[in-house]
Structure 1
Amino acid sequence: MHEETRRDGEATDGEAADSETGELPEAVVDGAARLTRLARDAVDENEAAAYRGRRAEMLADHDFTSRIREEDETLVLHPAEWMDDGVVRVERIEDTGRAYEIPLTGADVDGDWDAVEEHNAELVDAVEAEDGATHAANARIFADFMGNHYLRRADAASRDEIQEFLTEYYPRNAWPSKKQETVVRESVERVFEAADADVPEF
């Protein structure tokens, strides 16, 4: 169960997208959340606009769009067909469960998203420098999973979170090469080694 990615106020079960129901792939939801945070934190407006543009293109590929609900700082992803001239038309909404709600702020033991992402990016760079591109690619996927789903540092992952990553998120959303897939468990260990942290038994 992922607390950060919600549909209609409820946590999703992390299942892969079903093209018949119009549900978004989990990786797209994660990407939209990440680009939104980057846009909100960008100092340069052109940079922020570029992030928003990438988010719009990613969602448009699935006939979805987004808006920010400012009152509780929540990113809402919903089918583009609900919109008319930039306004959500209630009469067009047949199934509210198709919408996704992603809180952009909130209390967390690891601090704000920028700090978590900066730390995780440093770990990915360290893995690449020490162990090469294949392990670094897996480390980046693991870092995105921990940062976007749990707003936590990758090296703070629990046994259950690692298991969720390996058994649910990675097979369904990562699209790894065969080489990456073969070494992913070792790649996770390399992340902890890069942080000089103990590796949970998994």
Structure 2
Amino acid sequence: MTELPEDAVDEAERLTRLARRVGDEEEAAAYRERRDALLAEHDYEARVREDDDGDTLVCYPAEWLADGTVRVERIEDTDRAAERSLTRGGEAEEWESVEEHNRALVERVREAHGDAEAANARAFADFMGNHYSRRMETATRAELREFREEYYPRNVWPTDEQEAALERSLRAVFEIAGEQYPS
């Protein structure tokens, strides 16, 4: 039995969110194809379940399918499926509210850790606010990876001090917000 690694679920969630957010259908299809190819490497498939509580990404073993339909009699262990909320308890917050919260958190990082960490926290606030319209401390492991690997190198012109402090800065955001750092 192939188990789906947590980082694959994180990446599947990230790609699903990107597909839902872009305006171009071809680009959205490309994100879904990347997600499906990633999951296929682990013999999993995905679907988005829509209900009154919001949308949920469901990743489940391909062996549960017959003609594109999940067959209940094929499910031996429901724990093998992975689910991620795509709405996180409701739609994204209004940008102004998120920005106000994140700005205050950046200042608390500055007070506790200094300017280099605060500059990194500000860049992370911009990323989370502009890309996800969410508070920094709600970031997933996949979103942190996206920030570190994609956004930061392309959009931030850090000093050597800032670059060396990046991981400390991100951890400080979560610590000061009273949230556990996604590891």
Using structure 2 for the length normalisation, give the TM-score.
0.57
**1:88 offset after TM fit, Å?**
0.6
Distance 1:75 1:34 in 2: 10
Q: Structure 1 runs of 4+ off > 6 angstroms?
A: 117-120
CA, structure 1 residues 115+59, in 2 after alignment: closer, same or farther (shift >3 Å)?
A: same
Q: Which structure carries more relative contact order (alpha carbon 8 Å, separation 6+)?
A: 1
- One-letter code of the match for 1:93? I
Partner residue of 2:157 out of 111, 126, 129? 129
Farther off after superposition, 21-30 or 79-88:
21-30
Q: Secondary structure at the match of 1:105?
A: coil
Taking the TM superposition and a 5 Å limit, the aligned residue runs for 1:6-155 are: 21-71=1-51, 72-107=54-89, 111=93, 114-116=132-134, 121=147, 124-125=152-153, 128-131=156-159, 135=163
Superposed displacement of residue 27, structure 1 = 1.1
Unaligned runs of 5+ in 1: 1-20, 143-153, 170-202
Shift of 1:128: 4.9
Q: Percent identity, aligned pairs only?
A: 45
Alpha-carbon RMSD across the aligned residues, in angstroms, is 3.7
User: Larger C-alpha radius of gyration, 1 or 2?
Assistant: 2
One-letter amino acid matched to 2:55: E
Query: Secondary structure of 1:76's partner?
Result: strand
Q: Deviations over 1:3-31 (max 9, x none)?
A: xxxxxxxxxxxxxxxxxx52221111110
Closer/same/farther in 2, CA of residues 100 and 52 from structure 1, 3 Å limit:
same
1:158 equivalent in structure 2: 175
Per the TM alignment, residue 161 of structure 1 is displaced from its structure 2 partner at its CA by 4.7
Gaps of 5+ in 2: 95-130
In the superposition, relative to structure 1, how do residues 127 and 52 fare at CA in structure 2: closer, same or farther (>3 Å)? closer
Secondary structure at the residue paired with 1:70?
strand
Tell me the alpha carbon deviations over residues 156-177 of structure 1, each in whole angstroms, 9 at most, x when there is no partner: 4126656x44xxx2xxxxxxxx
